[in-house]
Amino acid sequence: MGIRKARMKKYISRIILYVLVVLIVVWTLAPFTWLFISGLFPYKELISDRTTSWFPENPTLKNFQAMFDMSSHIGQRFMAALRNSLIISGSVTIICLIFGTLAAYALARLKFPFKNNIVMSLISIRMIPTVALVIPFFIIIRTFDYYLIQANSNFHFYDTKINLIILYVTFILGFVIWIMRGFFLTIPTELEEAARIDGCTRTQALIKIVLPLSAPGLVATGIFTFLLAWDEFVLAMVFTKTTNSITIPVYIAALGSQYIHAFDQIAASGFVASLPPIILALIFQKFLIKGLTAGSTKG
Partner 1 sequence: MSIRRQELSSKQLALILLLPSILIILCVVIGPLVFAFYLSFFKAEPIIGGISTKFIGISNYIYYFLKDPLFWSAVRVTTYFTVVSLVIELILGISMALVLNKSFIGRSFVRSIILLPWALPTVVNARMWEWIYAGSSFGALNGLMKVLHIFPADYDKVWLGFDVPLQNIPLIGNFMEWVGASTALNMIILADTWKVTPLVTLLVLAALQTFPDSLYEAAGIDGASSWSQFWNITLPLLRPVLLVVLVLRTMELFRVFDIIYILMQYSIRVVGVYTFETGMKFLNFGRGSALSFLVGLFILGIALIYVRVLYSEET
The 10 Å Cβ neighbour count of residue 192 is 19
Nearest-angstrom CA–CA distance, 243 and 84: 8
Does residue number 12 form part of the binding site for partner 1 (CB under 8 A)?
Answer: no
CB of 143 to partner 1, least distance (A): 5
Nearest-angstrom CA–CA distance, 299 and 295: 8
Does residue number 282 form part of the binding site for partner 1 (CB under 8 A)?
Answer: yes
Nearest-angstrom CA–CA distance, 274 and 282: 12
- SS3 state at 86: helix
Beta partners for residue 256, in sequence order: 261
Does residue number 6 form part of the binding site for partner 1 (CB under 8 A)?
Answer: no
Q: Which is nearer to partner 1, 71 or 219 (CB)?
A: 219
Q: Under rule CB under 8 A, which residues in 231-270 are in contact with partner 1?
A: 231, 233-234, 238, 248-249, 252-253, 255-256, 258, 261, 263, 266-267, 270
Q: Rounded to a whole number, what is the largest CA-CA distance in the chain?
A: 93
- SS3 state at 121: helix
Q: How many residues bind partner 1 (CB under 8 A)?
A: 99
CB of 99 to partner 1, least distance (A): 5
CB of 252 to partner 1, least distance (A): 5
Q: Which is nearer to partner 1, 11 or 71 (CB)?
A: 11
> Which H or E element spans position 225?
helix 215-231
Q: Under rule CB under 8 A, which residues in 63-102 are in contact with partner 1?
A: 99-100, 102
Q: Under rule CB under 8 A, which residues in 160-189 are in contact with partner 1?
A: 166-167, 169-171, 173-174, 177
Q: Which is nearer to partner 1, 71 or 271 (CB)?
A: 271
Is residue 68 a contact partner of residue 54, using CB atoms and an 8 Å limit? no
Q: Under rule CB under 8 A, which residues in 33-62 are in contact with partner 1?
A: 34-35, 38, 46-51, 54
Q: Which is nearer to partner 1, 103 or 209 (CB)?
A: 103
Nearest-angstrom CA–CA distance, 37 and 64: 12
Is residue 135 a contact partner of residue 62, using CB atoms and an 8 Å limit? no
